[in-house]
Structure 1
Amino acid sequence: MRPRLQEIVVDCADPAALAEFWGGLLEARWAVRDESWAMVDADPLLLAFQRVPEPKSSPKNRLHLDVQVADAGVAIARATARGARVLREPEVGPGGDGYVVLADPEGNEFCFVIDNGGTWTASIRAALDAAPEPPA
């Protein structure tokens, strides 16, 4: 078996609250393992939340999640009702595709990506197809 990503782990203050937020946002199963660890079944990966003692010290994340949605307005309404906040106005083109930057209840940034035309995903796949194979 080749190495593969198993999960993405987010450091946080309240793992259970973030697992509930992200589980609801992704309409996915979520569970709390113990007071320091919770996870969401974000198939094909797990999204995990790990309690850490230090607070988030920078307003900018070095990693963020892109969540593909069909309708930015509906997704934003659902997310903000769960405690998210919009950080910037949506960047959506005339065809309806684009993105919007939000933050979860602990300030972790994420984007809703609208790619109903498939052009963004197709361009990424084309670039991957054109790349040389990694050495074995």
Structure 2
Amino acid sequence: MALRPVQVNIKALDDSAVGRFWAQALGWGVSSEAPGVTNVEPTGGFVWPDPVAVCIDVVTVPEPKTATKNRVHLDLATTSAAHQTELVTRLKALGATPADVGQGDVPWTVLADPEGNEFCVLEPREIYRDTGPIAAVVVDCADPRAMARFWDEAIDWTLHKVTDEQAALRSAKGVGPYLEFLRTSDVHTAADRVHLDLLPYPGDDQEAEVARLRALGATDLDLGQGDVSWKCMSTPEGHEFCVLRPAKA
């Protein structure tokens, strides 16, 4: 049994507008599986799911984002200083705005999408040269080592780095973005606006995967989702995530 991260789920007042922003930001395409949902994924023959890209699902909700910084955000990769400057300029033209999350004087640029979801445009880094446009899905946490232990067991990605300040995993195939956990002292005061969706492999049992995650310390989560095909859960630190129904074998 195993799970894999397949998409970043972003809540939005206007899924279509936020979805268009992210599609243009990443150079990807958009589709819609249902009203109120905009799917953002690579074009050119991409078949979901594939570890080469963790896709984005934007889902309409009635509540706007609060002023609280999201605990999950995207880091975008660049290949040169000129590329970073060009990308920041282009993103602002698409509706992104500068964001101050207390970062101070850093080489990366912090922006927010049209509904205020923070993200970073990184300076060129060798580690992210082959990730595609998304360098990493970054999760703020109190204990990166504990999160590394949980996620190393929860998903089939490979653990690359573990320190007191940071942990990182990546697909065992060595493609696509990293999943990173950064130590922060911020207190969780709002529901997660951004979370990961995990997918079992064809033929695996969703309920068995959920039971396995419970044994690792995850808990069931009632967000008012009602009778849906996915299972809402939270990590031992309270980060929300969903376990999707597996595709048919």
Fold conserved between structures, TM > 0.5: yes
Q: 1 CA distance for matches of 2:58 and 2:105?
A: 27
Who is 1:56 aligned against?
65
Q: 1 CA distance for matches of 2:71 and 2:94?
A: 23
Aligned-residue CA RMSD (Å): 2.6
Who is 2:90 aligned against?
78
1:108 matched to 2:120? The reply is no
**When the two structures are superposed, what TM-score results if normalisation uses the length of structure 2?**
0.43
Q: How does 1:33-52 map to 2 (within 5 A)?
A: 33-41=33-41, 43-52=52-61
Q: 1 CA distance for matches of 2:111 and 2:106?
A: 12
Q: 2 CA distance for matches of 1:114 and 1:51?
A: 32
Superposition deviation, residue 87 in structure 1: 1.7
1:87 matched to 2:119? The reply is no
Q: Is the 8 A contact 2:84 2:124 kept in 1?
A: no
**When the two structures are superposed, what TM-score results if normalisation uses the length of structure 1?**
0.75
Gap regions ≥5 residues in structure 2: 43-51, 130-158, 164-249
Who is 1:11 aligned against?
11
Q: Is the 8 A contact 1:69 1:112 kept in 2?
A: yes
Deviations 1:53-101 (CA, angstroms, capped at 9, x unpaired)? 1121233111111111222210111100000011247722xxxxxx111
Identity, % of aligned pairs?
Answer: 29
Distance 1:57 1:68, change over 3 A: same
Gap regions ≥5 residues in structure 1: 93-98, 122-126, 132-136
Superposition deviation, residue 29 in structure 1: 1.2
State the aligned residue count.
119
SS in 1 for 2:92: helix
Q: Is the 8 A contact 2:11 2:60 kept in 1?
A: yes
1:66 matched to 2:75? The reply is yes
Q: 2 CA distance for matches of 1:109 and 1:16?
A: 18
Q: Is the 8 A contact 1:19 1:31 kept in 2?
A: no
SS in 1 for 2:71: coil
Q: Is the 8 A contact 1:16 1:35 kept in 2?
A: no
Q: Is the 8 A contact 2:77 2:128 kept in 1?
A: no
Distance 1:41 1:90, change over 3 A: farther
Q: Is the 8 A contact 2:29 2:41 kept in 1?
A: yes
Q: 2 CA distance for matches of 1:8 and 1:37?
A: 13
Q: 2 CA distance for matches of 1:19 and 1:102?
A: 16
Distance 1:57 1:3, change over 3 A: same
Superposition deviation, residue 23 in structure 1: 0.4
Q: 2 CA distance for matches of 1:20 and 1:112?
A: 18
